[in-house]
Amino acid sequence: MNDRGTVACLLLLACSWWWATAPTDAAAQGDPAAHRQPITGGVQVDDCVIRYSEEIDVPAAESGILENVLIEPNHEVEADQPLAMHNTDQLLLQRRIAELQKKAADEKLADDLELQYARTALEEAQAELESNRSIYETSGGAVPFSMLRKLRLAVKRAELEVEREKKQRRLAQVEIDLRAADLQMLQQQAERLVIKSPLPGVVLEVYRHTGEWVTAGDPVARIARLDRLHAHCLLTADRLPPRLCKGQAVTARWTEQGVERSLRGRVMSVDTEMLANGSYRLHAELQNVLDGDHWRLLPGTEVIMTVHPVASPTVATGPGARRSNAPPSVVGGSR
């Protein structure tokens, strides 16, 4: 009985040793992902500052008096949402005049009675000329030559009248195109009189108020994005080389009223200049989240930023190792 128990224990120990030392399927098949895994815990940066991803001073496109400013500081706005507007009474009057002028040009082009009358007169003059010419050729002297000359001039006059009416119709089409261009220009000017937000975000500051004069190019309000934030951090090269930092995942953690919160993001870029203490700057973008009616992370919050680099595969040695592209050094100099 004791012998059987001893054998069972030995078999159990052998199976456990084989399970612990056997390679995984991915590693056995040479899967690169099995040799490239995120470093556990990541690398914590030394210093981190959270800022808006975009801050824009929205300018006025036209000079004039602001009839209405629609925003206040700390108001959230959407992209293309009106922020302020100029008085549009004069522009609306100009647009009404341009619309009436275009309508008149349309009606003039649609009315072809003058052209039809000119063509009918031409046909009549040609018919009378042909009739008298036949009489002149068959009965010499029955129709004087001076009459034929007058009829030829009448035909020529009718032809010129037809050409003039055609030209008038072409000019009417040009007039329509000009009025359409005027309307398009007035529409663009009307859009410039309404100052809109170029991006979704929050109003940081309002520079102009209702009734104030603004010159084209002057800023009216300052808008910043909150749906994306930028983290500007410092990290030493001995902890994580700059070449391994770009594109890596990051996590920002902070505590709010005893509750730990976090956001994820990715390293956007790394400065190419090293600082004196062997550190460098990295810049990451965090995707902010709305918790109810409030954004989870606000610029200026102190956070702990961790970079999660991906471990590089072990450099192989031996016959299958990757060769270096650098040329071999020459020993002893050239002959």
Q: To 5 degrees, how large is the angle CA 192–CA 198–CA 200? A: 140
Say if residue 82 is in the same domain as residue 118.
Answer: no
Say if residue 198 is in the same domain as residue 278.
Answer: no
For 97-166, list the strands marked E by DSSP. none
Say if residue 245 is in the same domain as residue 301.
Answer: yes
On the CB side of 183, how many CA atoms lie within 13 Å of its CA?
Answer: 14
Q: Average pLDDT in the 14-36 region?
A: 40
Say if residue 187 is in the same domain as residue 199.
Answer: no
Domain count, the chain: 3
At 70 the pLDDT is: 95
At 124 the pLDDT is: 79
Say if residue 237 is in the same domain as residue 288.
Answer: yes
Task: Judge whether 105 lies within some domain.
Answer: yes
Can you tell me the distance from the alpha carbon of 51 to that of 285, in angstroms, rounded to the nearest whole number?
10
Domain boundary among 207, 224, 241: 224
Task: Judge whether 317 lies within some domain.
Answer: no
Short-list 46, 24, 31, 42, CA closest to 310: 42
Task: Judge whether 284 lies within some domain.
Answer: yes
- 217-226 pLDDT, tens digit per residue, is 999 999 999 9
Say if residue 269 is in the same domain as residue 130.
Answer: no
- 191-210 pLDDT, tens digit per residue, is 899 999 999 999 999 999 99
DSSP secondary structure code for residue 315 in this structure: P
Q: How many helices (H) and strands (E) does the chain have?
A: 5, 17
Contacts of residue 34, defined as CB under 8 A and 6 or more positions apart, other chains included, come to 24, 26, 27
Say if residue 74 is in the same domain as residue 203.
Answer: yes
> In this structure, are residues 43 and 306 in contact, taking their beta carbons and an 8 Å threshold?
yes
At 50 the pLDDT is: 97
Task: Judge whether 232 lies within some domain.
Answer: yes
Task: Judge whether 333 lies within some domain.
Answer: no
Task: Judge whether 123 lies within some domain.
Answer: yes
Say what the pTM is. Answer: 0.61
Domain boundary among 191, 213, 237: 191
Say if residue 238 is in the same domain as residue 171.
Answer: no
Say if residue 133 is in the same domain as residue 279.
Answer: no
Task: Judge whether 117 lies within some domain.
Answer: yes
At 313 the pLDDT is: 45
What CATH number corresponds to the domain at position 273?
A: 2.40.30.170
pLDDT band for 82, please (50, 70, 90 cuts).
Answer: very high
Say if residue 75 is in the same domain as residue 207.
Answer: yes
Distances (CA, A) of 258 to 49, 261, 291, 294, 306: 21, 10, 17, 18, 20
Can you tell me the distance from the alpha carbon of 270 to that of 285, in angstroms, rounded to the nearest whole number?
12
Q: Write out the residue range of the structural domain in which residue 142 sits.
A: 88-191
- 95-132 pLDDT, tens digit per residue, is 899 888 888 888 777 777 676 777 787 777 777 767 76
What CATH number corresponds to the domain at position 76?
A: 2.40.50.100
Say if residue 153 is in the same domain as residue 211.
Answer: no
> In this structure, are residues 63 and 195 in contact, taking their beta carbons and an 8 Å threshold?
no
Task: Judge whether 199 lies within some domain.
Answer: yes
Say if residue 108 is in the same domain as residue 170.
Answer: yes
